[in-house]
């Protein structure tokens, strides 16, 4: 028999006053899994997290943890009774307490407090900083204290709200990997909120993409990349651009890139939008397909170039090395992909 889900959201809706903010949010998280709510600013990610923590009430739907009801309209179990830990964006550490004091704060009466604090200090790599105060630590170290403090009461689920947003890019990347390792070592399930796709991909087993208060897709990072369900998901994940095309036969379409293959079958003459990602195009000096180079950004391992294609569409291409062509020059390009993802052309794309 399959294990029951740890966290289950069914048809959740929340509002501030009469302003509906999130609607029809349904997803499940399994024991030990790391989930992530990803989406642009203001889409409702934090509201969903706060509803799970018990800080927002539900207009509709239900939230269960290990089969027990936490929230439904008219019922909201108090946050402190939920066995859910929370790590805030600004860490919210107690400045007058040492690192060890902060970590042990939530388990003051626990008989094994010293042992648990010691284990967590080791786990987050701060054993030597145990007697220091938060203001004597770097941002990354403070974040690790906040994580250890949230883990100390052994919550069933940990919620992290933009946990790395106050850190510089390099540290974010490193800490995201470290946090994943720590959560996996403890087999603690977690749900984090971010608007940063790299962070979501680095940490998560499942990603929920939210747009304008709706859950567009809940799936693994791989599936979100390979099979985005909606045009928004396709564009948001991986810097996608669309070009128009018309289906001409089995998995074939005609576009300004010539005849292309599509991943799905379409009825002949269906108007399509084809997804081009930066890895869909490659430099091909002898190709009959051209693009005007509009801008370029050197990214170390490659150069991200923005082109206007012959038919007027825009596209990005990540070209290897330091791409030397001048802005405004015409560059030969060819398709890198065996087949392109396509969506029926609608107002939405
Ligand atoms: N306390 C509140 N009262 C009224 N409106 C609110 C309140 N909190 C958030 N909102 C509004 O609800 C919407 C969703 O906010 P929320 O904080 O959930 O989004 P978010 O996706 O987490 O955004 P960000 O990434 O910028 O933090 C926004 O339009 C926001 O202005």
pLDDT tens digits, one per residue of 250-262: 899 999 888 999 9
Residue 149 lies in a domain: no
User: 38 lies in a domain?
Assistant: yes
Reported ipTM exceeds the 0.90 cut: yes
pLDDT at 170 over 90: no
SS (H, E, C) 130-155: CCCCHHHCCHHHHHHHHHHHHHCCCC
Rg (CA), the chain: 24
| Residue 142 covered by a domain | no
Calpha distance 212→97 (Å, rounded): 40
C-alpha of residue 214 to centroid of ligand 1, in Å: 13
Q: What is the pTM of this model?
A: 0.87
Walk across the sheet containing 258-261 and list its strands. 258-261, 252-255, 241-249, 271-276, 342-344
Say what the pLDDT of residue 348 is: 56
Band the pLDDT of 223: cuts 50, 70, 90.
very high
Ligand 1 atom nearest the C-alpha of 213 is 14
pLDDT tens digits for range 313-342: 999 999 999 999 999 999 999 998 778 999
User: Could you tell me if 243 and 333 lie in one domain?
Assistant: yes
Q: Could you tell me the CATH number of the domain that includes residue 26?
A: 3.40.50.300
Q: Is residue 1 part of a domain?
A: no
Cα–Cα distance list, 69 to 6, 66, 201 (Å): 12, 9, 30
Count of structural domains within the chain: 2
122 CB-near residues (< 8 Å, 6+ apart): none
What's the pLDDT at 224?
94
pLDDT the model gives residue 178: 84
- CA of 22 relative to ligand 1 center, distance in Å: 10
Q: Which residue's CA is the nearest one to ligand 1's atom 25?
A: 41
Handedness of CA 17, 22, 27, 33 (dihedral sign): negative
What is the SS3 assignment for 118? helix
pLDDT greater than 90 at residue 103: yes
Domain that holds residue 325: 239-344
Q: Residue 173 has what pLDDT?
A: 80
Q: Which residues pair with 46 in a beta bridge?
A: none
Q: Whose CA is nearest to atom 24 of ligand 1?
A: 41
Count CA atoms closer than 13 A to 25's CA, side-chain side.
34
């Amino acid at each position: 028999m399959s294990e029951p889900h740890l966290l289950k959201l069914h048809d959740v809706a929340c509002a501030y006053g009469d302003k509906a903010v999130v609607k029809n949010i349904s997803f499940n998280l399994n024991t030990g899994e790391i989930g992530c709510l990803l989406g642009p600013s203001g889409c409702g990610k934090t509201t969903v997290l706060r509803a799970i923590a018990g800080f927002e009430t539900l207009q509709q739907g239900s939230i269960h943890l290990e089969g027990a009801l936490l929230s439904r309209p008219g019922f909201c179990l108090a946050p402190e009774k939920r066995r859910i830990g929370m790590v805030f964006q600004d860490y919210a550490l107690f400045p007058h307490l040492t690192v060890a004091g902060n970590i042990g704060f939530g388990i003051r009466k626990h008989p094994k407090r010293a042992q648990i604090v010691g284990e967590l200090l080791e786990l987050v790599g701060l054993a030597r900083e145990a007697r220091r105060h938060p203001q004597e630590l770097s941002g990354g170290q403070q974040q690790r204290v906040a994580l250890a403090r949230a883990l100390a009461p052994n919550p069933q689920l940990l919620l992290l709200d933009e946990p790395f947003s106050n850190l510089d890019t390099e540290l974010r990347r490193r800490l995201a990997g470290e946090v994943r390792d720590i959560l996996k070592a403890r087999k603690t399930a977690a749900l984090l909120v971010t608007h940063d796709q790299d962070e979501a991909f680095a940490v998560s087993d499942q990603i929920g993409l939210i747009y304008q208060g709706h859950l567009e897709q809940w799936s693994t990072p791989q599936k979100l990349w390979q099979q985005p369900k909606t045009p928004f998901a396709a564009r948001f994940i991986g810097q996608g651009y669309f070009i128009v095309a018309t289906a001409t036969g089995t998995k074939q379409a005609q576009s300004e890139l010539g005849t292309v293959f599509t991943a799905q079958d379409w009825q002949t003459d269906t108007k399509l939008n084809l997804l081009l990602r930066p890895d869909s195009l490659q430099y091909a000096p002898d190709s009959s397909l051209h693009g005007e180079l509009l801008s370029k950004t050197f990214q170390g391992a490659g150069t991200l170039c923005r082109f206007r294609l012959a038919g007027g569409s825009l596209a990005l291409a990540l070209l290897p090395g330091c791409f030397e062509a001048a802005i405004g020059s015409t560059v030969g390009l060819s398709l890198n992909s065996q087949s392109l993802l396509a969506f029926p052309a609608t107002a939405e794309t």
